[in-house]
A and B are shown apart, each in its own frame.
Chain A
Amino acid sequence: MFRAALRLSVSGARSLTRSRPQYTASVAARSYSHGKQETDEEFDARWVTYFNKPDIDAWELRKGMNTLIGYDLVPEPKILEAALRACRRLNDLASAIRILEAVKDKSGPHKEIYPYVLQELQPTLNELGIPTPEELGINKA
């Protein structure tokens, strides 16, 4: 009985090493050992759609933003643009500024991310009249 079990376990181990999955360059939050991996574009599209909901409510904005910041990634500018426009629909300037702060904080030691994001968002910021934290002086304690 034990010999049979050993044979089974050995064959199982061999098949594991043979069928090691090839990971695509995905920045998605989950990596499954089986099932389809969500690509970066699908992830971004999903979040842009979430924030682009015309009648998004304040709770959904907060929930979406807090969840997004919880992921191990810095959101793409297009997601952030959708989030900022959602803030505009909800008449919430403070949240818009907070989102920019959170992006800077999220980039951590990679100091080049935040200026890039600001550069991409500049048209939206100008259009909606959202100040950057630097303009308000809250980037320094």
Chain B
Amino acid sequence: MSTMFADTILIVFISVCTALLAEGITWVLVYRTEKYKRLKAEVEKQSKKLEKKKETITESAGRQQKKKIERQEEKLKNNNRDLSMVRMKSMFAIGFCFTALMGMFNSIFDGRVVAKLPFVPLSYIQGLSHRNLLGEDYTDCSFIFLYILCTMSIRQNIQKMLGLAPSRAATKQAGVASISPGSD
């Protein structure tokens, strides 16, 4: 049973290492490039400018003002798309590495109960939390569930601590741009 606690700590450690590895790969392939730095600065500047403009615009704003905002949104959308293309390189590299790593870890921890949950997960989550585990005790936790939840918390905090997370304005405008209809 004490090996369960050791497994839990090991998986936390694996999660930290893989998060750092992912950020490291992204830094080498993306973050340190001039193109990325330029695009990121441009997107953040445009996002903040657009957000301020939208806050000051009123219902009775002229057609010209609204057209201006639309043009700025289009420009921002294009820059966001270019930024995504630049990030694509690292996404492929990370995807490839992680597929190999996850295959390895899954075979190491296959069938092992790595933690005891202090609650019984909802039925649609049990497929993940109790994956490849024997028995009907759904407080038994599998590697993949613990790993996913560790990564959810650790990766974002690491990005924030290292200053690599995109700004909120940029994230917000990227979200708006992805769901808004085309301007033509």
Q: Please determine whether chains A and B interact with each other in the same assembly.
A: no
